[in-house]
Each structure stands twice: as structure tokens, then as C-alpha cells.
Amino acid sequence: MNGKSKLKRKTKLAVSLVLLVSFLFTGSGFGSPLQDPDAPSVPYKIFLPYIFTSGGPTGGGGDPDPRPVRNIFGVETSYIDSNLVSKADGVNANWWRYFAFSWKGIEPTDVSPSQYNWSAVYEHHLRDAAAGGFSIVATVKFSPFWAQAMSDSQSVQCSPIKDDAATIADFQEFLTALVNRYKEPPFNIKIWQFWNEPDLDPDVLVAIGQLYTSPFGCWGDDTDPYYGGEKYGKFLSIFGQTVKAADPQAKITNGGMLLDCNPEENPTGCIMGKFFEGTLRGLIANNGAQYLDYVSFHVYGHWYANLNLDENYGGFRDGGVMLGKAKFLRKKMADYGIDPVKPLIMTEAGLMCKRPDTALELPSRKKCSDTVAPPEFEDDQAEYIVWIYVRAIANDISGVMWYMLNYQSYRHVGLMYGDFITPKPAYLAYQYLVSQLYDAYYVRTLDEYFPTLRAYEFTKNGHPIWVMWAPDQTNHAITLPAGFQNAYDKFGNQISVAPGATSIDINGPTYLILN
């Protein structure tokens, strides 16, 4: 089906089943775009991109950052309308990731001269986001049937691109026309992403019946020592060079990687984890590293009853699902002589409701399969917003796009309810987080509270702000710090501290305001 012999495909079955099991337990979300609603326009304003980093290059505990926390906040949506523009503005989002461009949809046939179907692009969505001043991370994916490297009787939209001179020239011609059309007002697209989650072998999609409909990329190849990453790196080089030739101000990022495991921790059972190393090799071999501005990866917590599987994540034993991935990516870049290492962005981050219906009944008697998520999940989703963003700031991750802002039925990952308007508790926690940390300065990790607590110090308007939580989600008493003024929970509700009290319990995310 992908050009490999039937014999080779049979010999791969056992490997593919292992990958499938790993993927089903640790993989990313199957985000299905909702039907497109028309959106009224909003007033246009100029967007000037600003690149943000925070903290030291190895993460929390580095030198204080002289720049205020601003541009790390972001969202992803499956559509864009005035309500979502307002909701994104409500969390001071800078990054707005959006599947903007399908090569398959824009150039379905290979004719000369090339003909582009721009009506396949929801241009009113892009105008609305740009008019709101957001930095659009525009994903380009899905190869047309005539350009697909995979050999199949049907179109496999996630397929890698044919590696021949004629197809590459067509791809470059398409990219040049695309960038020239959308780089200027009213679209102002400056950040371009090549494919989505490319580090997946198509045989995994065959096994789950999603080969022809998958939102993933399928550049992975488990018969290759670098899992197909070198070929992807070559085309990422072509993508970056072509886009920047059309717009020297453009920024380039790879397709956000699933990156489900660390091959250095599991050398024989983590071939998927070799994809990024292969990508680096492909970039370097094709002089393409200079065109890559950000390295993108995806992070999902898996909720069964609590948030335990964030730090205690089997695929990355050193650091967990977020910090473990960041550490691995930086190490690989350093191993290949990329100095300084590229900034990291998380173009998808979220929490999936994955508790099986057969599990012991929750106190609420709700299930993850219900139309509305269990309240236990919703409360933890609100906590996870704080866990993700605070640690991202402290560990020098440049951008985090929550998947997703709009309603999403898949594993309840969205921040809106099914009426598409009412915010879930996690959105309210996001708002309060931003109200406290936007324009604050990251100072340090409060190492004296580790490992029992996670604790970070910021300063804003001359006042220290401590953000703390217990990763085991149980109460731990601490002595009130000097200068204590007030304490607030993750939603901004004031926590009562009795006069004369000398301690406070920390469990869920807590903001301590000091003088």
C-alpha cells in the first residue's frame, strides 16, 4: 500500500501491532475539524511578531529572564469565528495554530500551467485571526494524489511527497504561490508549519482503519533506522528554503511530533523516537538547519483518575511527558552540533479523558464517554493548564498552543462546552493564570520545596508571586513565606488563611502573593 512489498509488510505486522498498542495508550488526539461556521469580520490591526523565550536554556532554575512573560500563550482551533477571537483574546493568546492549507485541496490536479483552487482555503478565518493581532501558525499538509509517494489505488492524504525532481519543483511552485498570496495583509501569515505529526508509520493507521482519513502525517517508516526522518528532513529543508525565498521574514517549524518515547531509554522498543534524529540528519545533509526556526512537539496528559501520568510517563522516564520530551529534543540538537539549539514550541498541548467505562465508578458516576466530561476530569484539566504553562515558562519553551480552544468531543480536550460558547473550568483557570503572569517576570524555581511540591517564583509590579502545586494532588502544609499577603486558587478565588496562621496547605495550583 505504501510501495513496500507484501512480504515486507507481513514481516512488519508484529512491529506495527506493538506500535499500535503504544500509540493507542500514549498517542495524540484525533482532532476532527468541525463544520465551518461563517464568521463576522473584526476590525483590522497591525500585527508585529515578537519572539519570546523565558528562563535558562536548560529550564527551571536558570537565570531570571529580563523580558516579561507575554507571548508564550496560545491556542489551536478547528475553525475561527468572532466568538473564538474573543475567547483567544481573553487569554492574551499570541500563537494561534490553525490547519490553514491543504495542498490536496488547493492543487488537486497536476496541470501546466499550475492551477490553484484558493476557494479551498477558509480565508475569512485567516482574516479574522490576523485582524485580532494573533500570530497564526499555519499548517500546510496533505499531498494531492498525483504527488503521493505511497502507492495505493486511493488517495492517502497523509502520504509523504514523491522524491523526484518534477514533484519537488511542483511543490516549490505551490509553496511560492501560497506564501506570496498570504504573507501580506489582510492575512499576515509569518509562521509556517510543514505537516502535522509526521512521525507515524502508515501501517499504524491501517491497523486502526484511518489510512485514508487520518489527520496525522505518515512519513514514518519502521523499516528505516531513523523511522523515515531523513526523508522528512530533506523535504523540511525544501519547505523552509522555498518559503523563506518568498518571504525572508517567515518563520519555519516542523510538524509537531507525537514523540511517544525516548529511544535512548528504550533502544530496542522505540524506533518511532528515532524520527527526530533522522530529521536532523536530513536537514543537515541538505543544508536546511539554517531555515528551521522552531522545533515543534506535542504533549498530552492522559487522565484516568488524576494527573499522575504527566511526570510518571513511561515513554520518558526522565522528566515525563513534557519536560522529558523537551530535554530529549535539546540533547539531540546539541549532539548534532546545532548551537544554539532551536527554540521549542508545543503546537498541541492538552489533557485527554481516557478512563475506560469499565473502570471503577467515579464519585460523580460520570464517564469519559459521556457527552459532558466527568467533573473530576474537568477540575484536573483546569489544574493541568497551570502545570503546563508555568513549567513551560520556567523551562524556556517559547510557545504553547492548547488543543483546543473550541468545543471538541474527542476525549473532552476542548475548552468550550457543546454549545460552542460556554467556557469550561479549564478556560477560566487559563484566564486567571494569564491575569497573574502576563507581564510578570520569571525569577526562579523554588528548589527548597522540591520534590514534594512544584514551586516557581515570578515578580510583577514589584510583588513576588509564587505558583505552587502538589504533583501527587494531596495536601502538603508549608510555612507561610515572609511577606505573605494573599493566596488564591487556580480560578482566582481567595483562599482563607486564619489570622495568626503560620502555615497553608498546598494541593491544587495556588498563587501566593507576597509584598
Q: What is the pLDDT of residue 113?
A: 98
Contact 346, 399 (CB under 8 A): yes
For the domain bounded by 6-439, which CATH number is listed?
3.20.20.80
Angle at 249 between CA 243 and CA 253, to 5 degrees: 55
All residue ranges of the chain with pLDDT < 70 are: 1-65
Q: Which CATH number fits domain 448-514: 1.10.3210, 3.30.450, 3.40.1350, 2.60.40?
A: 2.60.40
Using alpha carbons only, how large is the chain's radius of gyration in Å?
23
Q: CA angle at residue 440 from 438 to 441, to 5 degrees?
A: 135
pLDDT (tens digit per residue) in 38-86: 333 333 233 333 333 333 323 344 456 678 999 999 999 999 999 999 9
Contact 495, 504 (CB under 8 A): yes
Report strand pairing: 399-403 vs 344-353. Answer: parallel
Sorted by sequence, the CB contacts under 8 Å of residue 157 that are 6+ apart come out as 102, 104, 141, 142, 143, 212, 213, 214
Burial of 499 (C-beta count, 10 Å sphere; 0-12/13-18/19+): exposed
* Predicted TM-score of the model (pTM): 0.89
Parts of the chain belonging to CATH 3.20.20.80: 6-439
pLDDT at 65: 64
CA dihedral over 215, 288, 251, 55, signed as positive or negative: positive
Q: Which residues pair with 441 in a beta bridge?
A: 459
The boundaries of every CATH 2.60.40 domain in the chain are: 448-514
Question: For the chain, how many residues are written?
Answer: 515
Q: What's the confidence (pLDDT) of residue 52? A: 36
State the burial class of residue 50 (Cβ atoms within 10 Å of its Cβ: 0-12, 13-18, 19+): exposed
